[in-house]
């Protein structure tokens, strides 16, 4: 094939090859094939050397023209490919579906116990009470002895106790031991509430678990009577259930650390004539209380001839069940997010 034909075939070939290149990679291969240092056009240029001056004059400009055509075609293709890529990216962006469902972020909520504790604390703080804390692992002395429950007292049977491997140590069965710590350390008169966990070694069911929440309350001063207890219990329950028309009544109850001891009932906050919560009675048993037994005061160095006081022991778990309408207390301790998320 003479050079003239070679030039025209190469031209036709390169136009076709560049046209067919639709990716950056294919275009680069085409560039190397025709415009590369060892490419087809360079080879034709090389063959020019062997020609006569006359022929050089004629084919030189034709080869330069071919190179120019190759370069322009290459540049046009390059721009076209870049544009197509840009359009593709834009099309993808345009089809971004804002309504597509994605994973919901996990939202955290406070545990119902945290809500009830904070709420009860606020109610008592508004009445001038101080919030105190005590250890969950206690000694026999604080949990029983100092509360007028000596070793042989039958009342110990009320408390199914988790004893620890350490002699005389146990998991507190109620928050009452915090009373003893308060009486030992506080200046008189004082008023405290002590919310916290308590432990009982018993079979679990919808209303019993091995751990639950209580709060102890204790007010010690001069001339403290049942009237103070009555008014405090009523005001506290009105605050806790956020209702003014709650009334209370007291029935006799026995606890070794109080004399007299009472069980406090409140009028049902959910109905007027009986419902499932109050079991159609319009009354709900809420918590036990009483006036501090002289033995208890004496044991912690307080003279019962001068001082008196009242104490109460709320089952906070029970209050939370009533307030939030929960019928199985094990749900509180289950870690079930579906349940806990509602608070
Ligand atoms: N500590 C008692 C219990 O867990 C509850 C209690 C009853 C506490 C009467 C008191 C009280 O302060 O006066 O069974």
pLDDT tens per residue across span 46-72: 888 888 888 889 888 999 999 999 999
Nearest CA among 82, 210, 189, 238 for reference residue 136: 210
CB of residue 264 inside a 6 A radius of ligand 1: no
Residue 161 contacts residue 201 (beta carbons within 8 Å) = yes
Taking the C-alpha atoms of residue 298 and residue 21, their distance in angstroms, rounded to an integer, is 101
Q: Which residue has the tokens 């870690």?
A: 335
Give residue 269 CA to ligand 1 midpoint distance, Å.
Answer: 23
Ligand 1 pocket mutation, candidates 256, 312, 314, 318, criterion most atoms within 8 A of CB: 312
Residues of the chain with pLDDT under 70: 1
Q: Give the distance (Å) from ligand 1 centre to CA of residue 231.
A: 18
State how far the alpha carbon of 108 is from the alpha carbons of 119, 323, 324, 338, 342, in Å.
19, 22, 19, 12, 10
- pTM, two decimals, is 0.71
What is the atom index within ligand 1 of the atom nearest the CA of 216?
12
Q: What pLDDT was estimated at residue 306?
A: 98
Tell me the two tokens of residue 14.
């390169």
User: Relative to the CA of 175, which ligand 1 atom is closest?
Assistant: 1
Distance 59 CA to ligand 1 centre (A): 114
Residue pair 262/270 in contact by the 8 Å Cβ criterion? no
The pLDDT, as a whole number, for residue 157 is 81
* pLDDT given at position 92: 80
Choosing from 153, 251, 256, 288 the residue with most ligand 1 atoms within 8 A of its CB, the one to mutate for a pocket test is 288
For 203, counting Cβ atoms within 10 Å of its Cβ (0-12 exposed, 13-18 middle, 19+ buried), the class is exposed
pLDDT of residue 263: 98
| Confidence (pLDDT) at 197 | 97
Check if 290 has its Cβ closer than 6 Å to any atom of ligand 1. yes
Tell me, using a 6 A CB cutoff, whether residue 313 lines ligand 1.
yes
* Closest residue to atom 3 of ligand 1, CA basis: 174
Whether 172 lines ligand 1, by a CB cut-off of 6 Å, is no
Residue of the CA atom closest to atom 2 of ligand 1: 313
Per-residue model confidence as pLDDT tens digits over 228-239: 999 999 999 999
Q: Is 216 in the pocket of ligand 1 (CB under 6 A)?
A: yes
* Centre of ligand 1 from the C-alpha of residue 232, in Å: 16
């Amino acid at each position: 094939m003479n050079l003239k034909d070679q030039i025209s075939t190469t031209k036709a070939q390169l136009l076709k090859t560049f046209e067919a290149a639709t990716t950056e990679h294919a275009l680069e291969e085409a560039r190397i094939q025709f415009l590369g240092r060892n490419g087809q056009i360079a080879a034709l240029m090389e063959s020019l050397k062997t020609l006569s001056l006359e022929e050089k004059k004629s084919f030189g400009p034709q080869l330069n023209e071919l190179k120019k055509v190759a370069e322009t075609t290459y540049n046009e293709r390059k721009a076209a490919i870049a544009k197509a890529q840009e359009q593709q990216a834009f099309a993808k962006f345009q089809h971004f579906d804002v309504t597509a469902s994605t994973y919901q972020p996990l939202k955290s909520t406070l545990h119902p116990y945290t809500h009830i504790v904070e709420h009860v604390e606020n109610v008592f703080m508004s009445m001038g009470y101080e919030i105190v804390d005590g250890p969950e692992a206690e000694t026999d002395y604080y949990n029983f002895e100092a509360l007028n429950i000596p070793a042989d007292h039958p009342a110990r049977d009320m408390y199914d106790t988790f004893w620890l491997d350490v002699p005389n140590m146990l998991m507190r069965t109620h928050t009452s031991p915090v009373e003893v710590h308060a009486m030992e350390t506080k200046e008189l008169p004082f008023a405290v509430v002590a919310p916290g966990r308590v432990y009982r070694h018993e079979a679990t069911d919808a209303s019993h678990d091995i751990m639950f929440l209580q709060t102890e309350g204790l007010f010690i001063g001069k001339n403290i009577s049942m009237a103070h207890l009555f008014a405090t219990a009523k005001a506290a329950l009105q605050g806790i259930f956020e209702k003014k028309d709650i009334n209370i009544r007291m029935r006799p109850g026995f606890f070794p650390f109080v004399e007299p001891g009472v069980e406090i009932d409140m009028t049902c906050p959910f109905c007027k004539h009986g419902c499932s919560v109050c079991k159609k009675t319009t009354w709900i048993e809420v918590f036990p209380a009483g006036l501090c037994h002289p033995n208890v005061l004496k044991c912690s160095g307080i003279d019962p001839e001068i001082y008196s006081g009242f104490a109460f022991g709320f089952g906070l778990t029970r209050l939370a069940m009533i307030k939030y309408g929960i019928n199985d207390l094990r749900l509180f301790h289950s870690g079930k997010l579906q349940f806990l998320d509602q608070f």
